[in-house]
Amino acid sequence: MKPLNYQSRITEVGDVANRLVVLYNATDALQDDAFLKTTFQELETQGEAITQAVKRDKAVSQLEEADAQRDEAIRVLGKLLKAYEVIPVEGLKPHGEKLSAIFQKYGVKITTENYSSQSNLVDSLLKDLSADGVQASITALSGVGEAIAGIRTAQEHFGQVRRAYETAFAKQQSKASASSLRKPLLELINKKLIPYLVAMQLSHPEKYQKFVHEVEKIINDMNEVVKTRSKKK
């Protein structure tokens, strides 16, 4: 039996572990094997740890993406107001100058602040742009209202994503990262489970052969996925 490819991604190793656990739990004939019972308990524990760690890593990625969307919305408004500030149209330029002066109190530089500071500054910017005295200027400049709405939407979305991230982080902060869990799980499959199954298939084929073939298929299927991906590079 070939080992699980060491180039398998974190999620792929976790998927193989979970599939193997499901297979073992459905194989009544091997429930009396103490070694397999202990090994599959380890597999289940480590597979679940990877699943949770991947979720946590995904939450970090989603937070970074939400922040990038918010940054872009701020840049859009900045560019728009900069153009209106110098537009050679008498009826529009004063409005552009008025709104640009408000925006410049914060500037695009707020996108370089940490998450908390930027959130506070964006809230303050949106509050200033919600004042009654600037609504006429916003209405007069095409696209500005939409740009401000874009910042507000991005800010709200970031807040939602950050709350989800903080919840996930609070639950998992003492646990290992997904990348650090990948190698131990590969070792458990390749250096503990597979050698034992190969030996048992040789010594007790009538009891282990069917299960070994099914394990082999799960591993070979994933190895083929990894092989196909490598060819595309």
CATH number of the domain enclosing 81: 1.20.1440
Q: Are residues 40 and 124 in the same domain?
A: no
Q: How far apart are CA 85 and CA 87, in angstroms?
A: 6
Q: How confident is the model at residue 90 (pLDDT cuts 50, 70, 90)?
A: confident
Residue 230 has pLDDT above 90, yes or no: no
Domain that holds residue 187: 10-55+176-232
Average pLDDT over residues 31-42: 96
Is residue 154 assigned to a domain?
A: yes
Structural domain ending residue among the three candidates 172, 189, 219: 172
What is the reported pLDDT for 66?
95
Q: Are residues 133 and 199 in the same domain?
A: no
Residue 148 has pLDDT above 70, yes or no: yes
Q: Are residues 31 and 109 in the same domain?
A: no
Low-confidence winner among 3-7, 45-49, 63-67, 195-199 (lowest mean pLDDT): 45-49
Total of domains in the chain: 2
What is the reported pLDDT for 10?
86
Q: How far apart are CA 17 and CA 8, in angstroms?
A: 12
Is residue 4 assigned to a domain?
A: no
Percent of the chain having pLDDT more than 70?
94
Q: Are residues 167 and 183 in the same domain?
A: no
What is the reported pLDDT for 191?
96
Q: Is the pTM of this model over 0.75?
A: no
Share the mean pLDDT of the chain: 91
Residue 144 has pLDDT above 90, yes or no: yes
Is residue 2 assigned to a domain?
A: no
Q: Are residues 24 and 51 in the same domain?
A: yes
What is the reported pLDDT for 180?
78
Structural domain ending residue among the three candidates 147, 172, 197: 172
What is the reported pLDDT for 231?
75
Token pair 């290992």 in the structure block, residue? 176
Is residue 215 assigned to a domain?
A: yes
Q: Are residues 110 and 157 in the same domain?
A: yes
pLDDT tens sequence across 199-219: 999 999 999 999 999 999 999
What is the reported pLDDT for 172?
58
Structural domain ending residue among the three candidates 152, 172, 192: 172
Residue 195 has pLDDT above 70, yes or no: yes
pLDDT tens sequence across 154-192: 999 999 999 888 877 666 554 556 667 889 999 999 999
Is residue 191 assigned to a domain?
A: yes
Percent of the chain having pLDDT more than 90?
75
Q: Are residues 65 and 155 in the same domain?
A: yes
Low-confidence winner among 63-67, 85-89, 99-103 (lowest mean pLDDT): 85-89
Average pLDDT over residues 101-113: 94
Average pLDDT over residues 55-60: 78
Q: Are residues 212 and 106 in the same domain?
A: no
Greater pLDDT, 81 or 60: 81
